[in-house]
A and B are shown apart, each in its own frame.
Chain A
Amino acid sequence: MTAGIEVEGLGRTYPGGVEAVRSVDLSVRPGEVFGFLGPNGAGKTTTVRMLTTLLAPTRGRALVAGHDVARDPERVRLAIGVALQESDLDNLQTGRELLAFHARLHGMGRRSAAQRTDELLELVDLTGAAGRQVRTYSGGMRRRLDLAIALVHRPRVLFLDEPTTGLDPASRLTVWDEVRRLNREDGLTVFLTTQYLEEADVLAGRVAIIAGGTIVADGTPAGLKASIGADVVTVAVPAADRPGAERLLAALPGVQRIQVTGDGVTLYVPDGPGTVARLVTALNAAEVPIGAVSTSSPTLDDVFLQKTGQRLAAAA
């Protein structure tokens, strides 16, 4: 049994004909942290629900930890741990009771369940709050308890759905450290869905971008950024002037690609700083009012923009 994920042509059409996922192909190697990015409605959640056996695919094939999610969901469930953003916890049990309950549902005996519960409470720093009912927990504490539940049976593949959405920056760093440690020390394969590109950039060895129910890009964050092969120059322009600005700026020397965005125009050029002066001169000459001008190396957000035509922050 390998702890990777192999997906070929996976799709889901709901009764009534709504095609939530058209066709997804991806491959996650054992021991890898894989970032899965996409705006809401792109098919991200549906894909994760299929890979975690909660939803039956209507076409294609997916192997998780070596087992077919459609034909052998029971074996898939033994191998995976899942922390889903939209699922709540059981509010009326204490943290310790809930964790031990899940350990027991995974077939552990009373004593080993209690022992594993103590280990995990320690790991996610909830030992002090273990005797309190979950309803008294803060958002960050719930997220940590959810992570502990996902890890209770020592899974080989961990699915983390938006693990830091709604967390304060300090809690976010704690979760990131924990994910890195699990991956490094236990060799855990991590399938991470996130709307934070920074999170994918920091944690994931490879990322895939889903849009319109299909994968539009995948590779290492560095490779994807390099694939843009240019500096990114962004200029803020009022909405009415954007089409005119786009025409003017497309004529500048060296422009490889130009895109109108929600707040102005974005250019991909070999020499960012050199382009800024020419851009300002051209727009001033045409009396186009301009706001902030910036130049930067490409980010995953630029990759996202190039592949999907929208920025993830605005799309999410």
Chain B
Amino acid sequence: MTTIAAAPTAPTAPTAPTAPATLSRPGGFLRDVGLVAGRVLRITARMPAEVLPNLVITVVFYLIQIEAFAGVTSFVGVTDPEGFFLAVAVFFATAGGAYGLQLATDIERGYFDKLLLTPVNRWALLIGSMGGDLTRALVQVLIVVGLGVLVGAEFGQGVAGAALLVLLAMVWALAYAGIGYAIALRTGSTQATQVASIIFLPLNFLTTAFVPEQALSGWLRTAVGYNPVTYLLDGLRALLSADAATGTVALAFAVVGGLAVVTLTVAATALGRRAR
């Protein structure tokens, strides 16, 4: 009997059809957020008609309010109309645009399915899209605040106050965006999402946007008390005035932040239902 000392080494032939790995792999949450936000901003930049009207209306309205009410605001205790109406302009800058509209368009046209077929992080689809929308809002807020400086609004708390004002405005924008995103994800309809901006109307008029609370009376005063935008405007104005009303600012952050938690939870739940 012969013993074979060493078997010749032959390459192992594949025994079963195996598929080589694809190029696809998850890219990571933050990277996905950046990609999705970048796309929304790229698209937004190509639709100036969606963005510019709101900015123009905000700016023009601000300038008109200062002029029109300059003679009467002092009767109701407003000494700095440039600052008083700057808060309203900041609110307009954040609440005038439709949030979640691109997402609703993607869902309606079926492109959202294409995104869901990639390994992109599901939360990044929501947070990235919101990031794109909020960047647009931030640019508008900064333009409006810059205009406030130009027309001589007081900025009684200096740069720190202005920075907190922008932060408060953006927390509000987040809360407001949550409503649009929740509707976009629940309905997948651009029409329904656009209707969300009608909420803007009562929020706007049932506030201290045009006169301070002490000048209001009756049911309007009661309604104003329940409107979160009232607290937002009070907070923004406190940050513009010379006497630091820390309590008012804290209350504004609490109310607007609380609202953001609620609307974002609803939006996140809607995303969970739509995207596996």
A residues sitting closer than 8 Å to B (CB atoms) are: 1-4, 29-31, 52-54, 56, 65-66, 73-74, 77-80, 82, 84, 86-90, 92-93, 97, 101-102, 104-108, 112, 116, 133, 149, 152-156
CA distance A89 to B116 in the complex (A): 13
Which of chain B's residues have a CB closer than 8 A to the CB of A29?
Answer: 17
When the two chains form their complex, are residues A30 and B19 in contact, meaning their CB atoms are under 8 A apart?
Answer: yes
CA A224 to CA B118, docked complex, whole Å: 36
Point out the residue from A3, A73, A87, A152 that lies within 8 Å of B113, measured CB to CB. Answer: A87
Cα(A78)–Cα(B118), bound, Å:
7
How distant is the Cα of A53 from the Cα of B115 in the complex, in angstroms? 12
* Residues in chain B near residue A92, CB distance under 8 A: 42-43, 46-47
Q: Which 7 A-B pairs have the closest CB atoms?
A: A87-B110, A3-B19, A153-B24, A88-B109, A156-B19, A107-B27, A107-B25
The dominant DSSP class at the A interface is: loop
Please give, as numbers and ranges, the residues of chain B lying within 8 Å of A4 by CB-CB distance: 17
How far does the Cβ of B121 sit from chain A's closest Cβ, in whole Å? 10
- Which residues of B are found within 8 Å of A101, using beta-carbon distances? 35, 39
Known A-B contacts A88-B110, A104-B35, A155-B22; A77 and B17 likewise in contact (beta carbons under 8 Å)? no
Could you say which of B24, B109, B117 has the most chain A C-beta atoms within 10 Å of its C-beta?
B117
Bitwise interface map of B from 10 to 37 toward A, beta carbon under 8 Å scored 1, else 0 = 0000001111111111110000100100
Number of chain B residues close to chain A: CB under 8 A: 32
Residues of B within 8 A of A154 (CB): 22-24
- A152 contacts which chain B residues (CB < 8 A)? 23
On whether the beta carbons of B19 and A79 are closer than 8 Å, the reply is yes
- Contact partner of A106 (CB less than 8 A), chosen from B47, B113, B119, is B119
Instruction: Please indicate the chain B residues that have their CB under 8 angstroms from the CB of A56 in the complex.
Output: 276
Cα–Cα, bound, A4→B120 (Å) = 24
- A contact residues around B111 at 8 Å (CB): 87-90
CB closest residue in chain B, given A86: B110
Chain A residues with Cβ below 8 Å from B39 are 90, 93, 101
Instruction: For B275, give the chain A residue with the smallest CB separation.
Output: A54
Give the chain B neighbours of A80 by CB distance below 8 A. 117
Alpha-carbon distance between A107 and B118 when the two chains are bound, in angstroms: 9
With A56-B276, A89-B111, A149-B114 already in contact, the answer to whether A108 and B119 are too (CB < 8 A) is no
Inside 8 A of B43's CB, which chain A residues have their CB? 90, 92-93
Asked if B17 and A3 make an inter-chain contact with CB atoms under 8 angstroms apart, the answer reads yes
Distance A87 CA – B106 CA, assembled complex (angstroms): 9
A104 vs B27: C-alpha distance in the bound complex, in angstroms? 8
CA distance A153 to B119 in the complex (A): 11
Known: A73-B276, A84-B110. A105 touches B19 (CB 8 A): no
Contact B35 A105 (CB under 8 A): yes
Q: How far is the CB of B37 from chain A (nearest CB, A)?
A: 12
| B32, A105: Cβ atoms closer than 8 Å | yes
Q: Is the CB of A107 within 8 A of B19?
A: no
A102 to chain B: which residues have CB within 8 Å? 114, 118
Q: Which residue of B lies closest to A112 (CB)?
A: B23
Residue in A1, A87, A107 whose beta carbon sits within 8 Å of that of B119 in the complex: A107
Instruction: Quote the shortest CB–CB distance from A108 to chain B (angstroms).
Output: 6
List the A side residues contacting B119 at CB < 8 Å: 74, 77-78, 105-107
| Complex Cα gap A65–B18 (Å) | 9
Closest to B36 in A: A105
Q: Which residues of A contact B115 (CB under 8 A)?
A: 105
In chain B, positions 120-134 with a C-beta closer than 8 Å to chain A are 120
Q: Which residue of B lies closest to A3 (CB)?
A: B19
B42 touches A97 (CB 8 A): yes
The answer to whether B42 touches A93 (Cβ under 8 A) is yes
**What's the least CB distance linking A8 to chain B, in Å?**
20
Rounded to whole angstroms, the CA-CA distance of A187 and B152 in the bound complex is: 70
C-alpha spacing A1/B35, complex, angstroms:
30
In the assembled complex, the Cα of A108 lies from the Cα of B21 at a distance in Å of: 14
Q: Given the complex, which residues of A lie within 8 Å of B114, measured CB to CB?
A: 82, 84, 87, 89, 102, 149
With beta carbons under 8 angstroms apart, the residue of A65, A82, A84, A133 that contacts B19 is: A65
